[in-house]
Amino acid sequence: MKYITIKNLTFSYGDNVIFKDASADIFGESRIGVVGLNGSGKTTLFHLIQKKLEPDEGSITIAPGITVGTLEQDLQLNKDLTLWEEGLRAFEDVIQIEKQMEELNQILHKTEDPEEQVRLIKQISRLSEEFESLKGYEYISRTKGVLQGLGFSQENFSLKVSALSGGQKTRFALAKLLLSKPDLLLLDEPTNHLDIESIAWLEDFLKSYTGAFMVISHDRYFLDKTVNGIIHIDNKKLNEYNGNYTEFIRKKEKRYEIQARHYKIQQSKILKIEKFIEQQRQWNRERNIIAAESRMKMLEKMERIDKPNLTEQKILIRLKTDVVSSNDVLWVEDLSKSYGSKHLFSHLTFQIRRGEKVFVTGPNGCGKSTLLKIISGKIEPDEGEFHIAKTVKTAYFDQELENLDPDNTIIDEVWAGNEKVTETQIRNLLAAFLFKGDDVFKIINTLSGGEQTRVSIAKLLLSDADFLILDEPTNNLDISSREVLENALMEFEGAVLCVSHDRYFVQKIGTRFLNFTPQGITDFTGDYEAWQERLAQEKERTESRKTEKSQKALDYLRRKELSSEYRKIKNAMERLEKEIEEIEEQIRLIETEMSDPDYSSDHERLTELQERLDEQSGILEQKYEEWASKEDAYRSFLQEHGDIIV
């Protein structure tokens, strides 16, 4: 089923044309990644679908009855409620039905009117069917699963929404959106504020999601895992591709090659026609004028091929290290840090050598960024010490961007201290980070946070440092800018200590991993895939040990439960056998009395005895049926559990 039809969409902000005759279709089985350069119109497209903006021309049609859910809609949270209470609001219709059924059941137990009982039973049955169709019996477990999957512990459930940080509120809003299960999800950078474990959970959730979704994300690893199609916003068009992000890159490059070839052929043909027209006009005879006009009409009717977009071509930057430093870069010994009662890490000891690309990983709030701040000298440790080799030059990047002069222009800021680099090289570098033409003369303090991040990264790439300390360097970078950074770091001969949630980036760069866990830090040397395999093996071993330990306790408890159940069945059978014996004795006595010659003519007495006999025979038959049922249960029980009962 077609959920959304986008037809000949044109939209502008003033003179800035975002879309021009753009078309695309979204189907019920669509899992679409929306990609493109920063400013190309990704979020604008979502706003147009939500009817927050109106097209200048063309249309966006949503099929009747299709519900569309967005993260922005769910940011309207009730701050006075707890996380659990606010989370359950996603199931208000289900909870209302549940309350109605409870109220009707209470009325049913009190009423003695048979007709009223029948009416109530029918009403409860109808509500029960509706409740089951809405999967009402799952709403508690679903709420718990989604909240925990997105990083909220069960202890967090009682927190007031008002007590959440900005990042936590965004995560919680995402949780509410996922719980509401609209037909079409619109997700704008959903992995922001999520640690790697929560991102992996979100991937699994989306892979099993029964509706459709469109997601804007710079997380290429996430896109590879979740989407089956890409909409690439380029040249004001919505270019559709089947497959995940990696397949899109391959197909896009192939499409570019074909378009470039066709464009070149057409331009050559146009040039020849234009030369012919010019020549015919110079001769200026009647037949020449007619020939020129004929070719002019041919050009007017020709469907022009757009020039292939070169804005995303790869730009390679090589990080330079002027000083040849020692192989040993950093020593960390017995480092500890806490904030008040919150303990982050203790007795942390490790070394980093030249050439290593070390990534610090772990859940949000475990102390990753704090460790980098300590190593960069921004804050002091509680205990322990660290040493950076004297010949090593360090460069530090974080989201606070303290290394920028707010009064400089972009080009002056990046060029400062790099006078040997030509203006062309500086402009090429800045173009890779989307600063083109006169943009390079903008003042730093007029830039957005994302733009300042790009300037800071560009500046970093020209530094001559041989030890880079990077805290979330890919935040606020579009995919092409991330690739520039990746390529530079892959060629970098110095050492890197980095925190990042961008797994595609981590996968390409990482050679070693320091993983924060509740039990301490683990140190693994190898690439990302090997590290993930190691983590999976460790998790499996831990789960196996937990299962084995709990199984022993469970086995003992289970044996006790089964023994109790066995005794109940056996006692019930023995009780029934005794009752059967007593009833059979009653029947024997009645039959003896009925056969007594003294009562042969006492019809009233015989009638009374016959009624008693019929009654006792009916009870006996019922008891035999109960006993047979218990015997079947007894045999089945022994067959299934006879070897473990105590």
- Fold for the domain defined by 549-641: Helix Hairpins (1.10.287)
Q: In 80-113, which ranges are continuous DSSP H helix?
A: 83-88, 92-110
Straight-line distance from the first to the last Cα atom of the chain, in angstroms, rounded to the nearest whole number? 59
Q: Look up tokens 């303290």; give the residue.
A: 402
Coil vs helix vs strand at 614: helix
Per-residue model confidence (pLDDT) at position 320: 59
Amino acid at 508: K
Per-residue model confidence (pLDDT) at position 246: 92
Per-residue model confidence (pLDDT) at position 73: 46
Tallying the residues shown for the chain, one arrives at: 646
DSSP-assigned states of every residue in 282-295: HH--HHHHHHHHHH
Q: Look up tokens 């990047």; give the residue.
A: 397
CATH ID of 328-526, from 3.20.20.100, 3.30.70.260, 3.40.50.2000, 3.40.50.300: 3.40.50.300
Q: How far is CA 299 from CA 296, 398, 481, in A?
A: 5, 55, 39
Of 411, 399, 412, the closest CA to residue 369 belongs to: 399
Domain locations in the chain as residue ranges: 1-67+182-243, 80-172, 251-301, 328-526, 549-641
Structure tokens at 513: 């991993």
State the helix-helix crossing angle for 92-110 and 114-133, rounded to 10 degrees: 160
Structure tokens at 272: 């020849």
Q: How many CB atoms lie within 10 A of CB 132?
A: 12
Per-residue model confidence (pLDDT) at position 206: 93
Amino acid at 514: L
Sign, CA dihedral 403-426-355-450, equals positive
What is the distance between the alpha carbons of residues 64 and 61, in angstroms, rounded to a whole number?
9
Please tell me the pTM assigned to this model: 0.69
Of 404, 398, 399, 382, the closest CA to residue 334 belongs to: 382
pLDDT along the chain (646 residues), means of 10: 95 94 94 90 95 95 94 70 91 92 87 82 88 87 91 89 84 88 92 84 92 93 94 93 94 87 91 90 85 88 78 55 70 91 89 94 87 93 93 86 87 85 86 87 89 87 88 85 87 92 91 87 89 83 68 65 79 85 86 79 82 85 82 78 60
What CATH architecture applies to the domain 1-67+182-243?
Answer: 3-Layer(aba) Sandwich (3.40)
Matching fold, domains 328-526 and 549-641 = no
Of 199, 233, 200, 197, the closest CA to residue 479 belongs to: 233
